[in-house]
Structure 1
Amino acid sequence: MAKFRRKPIVIEAEQWFPGRDVKGVHQHFDVGIGSELDSAPHVHTIHKNQMVIIEPGDWIIPEGDGEHFYPCKPDIFEKTYEPV
């Protein structure tokens, strides 16, 4: 099978921790009683018009439109990106 390397691109990203304001992260969120999210942190970001729960240390990456964001786990981020 042929091998491929990801093309180098520069991205913006910020690592989130509780109490830190990061664009795209909503830290106050009412999930409602009985929701499977009751025990999850009340922190989320919007990715492709869906709520995604994030955890401390996740990297937040803006999509091309600048209005939607997606999280990336620290171990995946470290394997995929390097500082510029």
Structure 2
Amino acid sequence: MKYRKKPVVVEAIRFFDTTESMLALNDELGLDPVRVSYKDPKHPVLKIETLEGMMIANVGDYIIKGVNGEFYPCKPDIFNKTYEPAEES
């Protein structure tokens, strides 16, 4: 049997190591706290508490707010294959 994914509109913001990105993740998406690790200063990572446990997002990854308010990272290539811009409602 085959199944089609239901159309769902999600909120997402791309993670970059900039003040604007951090503010957008917190203010627009609602991610709180925004925790960035600079253990490797050349490759900062965003740590996200997900339903499956702690996950890591690299610079350029999308942070998605799911239908139940949960957050998770998504690689840009997968994001672009899965999602397209939706009209604002």
Same fold (TM over 0.5): yes
* Distance change >3 Å, CA 10–CA 49, structure 1 → 2: same
User: Which of the numbers 14, 26, 34 marks the counterpart of 2:35?
Assistant: 26
TM-score, L = length of structure 1: 0.69
Amino acid of the residue matched to residue 50 of structure 1? Answer: G
Count of paired positions: 74
> Which runs of 4 or more aligned residues in structure 1 lie more than 3 Å from their structure 2 counterparts after TM superposition?
38-42
What is the alpha-carbon distance in structure 1 between the residues aligned to residue 79 and residue 64 of structure 2? 10
- Which residue does the alignment assign to 2:12? 13
* Distance change >3 Å, CA 69–CA 10, structure 1 → 2: same
Amino acid of the residue matched to residue 5 of structure 2? Answer: R
What is the alpha-carbon distance in structure 1 between the residues aligned to residue 8 and residue 67 of structure 2? 12
2:85 is equivalent to residue 83 of structure 1: yes
Contact 1:61 1:72 in 2 (8 A): yes
Task: Show structure 2 runs of 5+ residues with no match.
Answer: none
Task: State which structure, 1 or 2, has the greater radius of gyration over its C-alpha atoms.
Answer: 1
Percent identical residues: 42
Mean CA deviation greater in 44-53 or 11-20: 44-53
What is the alpha-carbon distance in structure 1 between the residues aligned to residue 56 and residue 62 of structure 2? 12
Task: Name the SS of the counterpart of 1:8 in structure 2.
Answer: coil
Task: Name the SS of the counterpart of 2:55 in structure 1.
Answer: strand
Tell me the C-alpha RMSD between the 2 structures: 2.3
Task: Show structure 1 runs of 5+ residues with no match.
Answer: 30-37
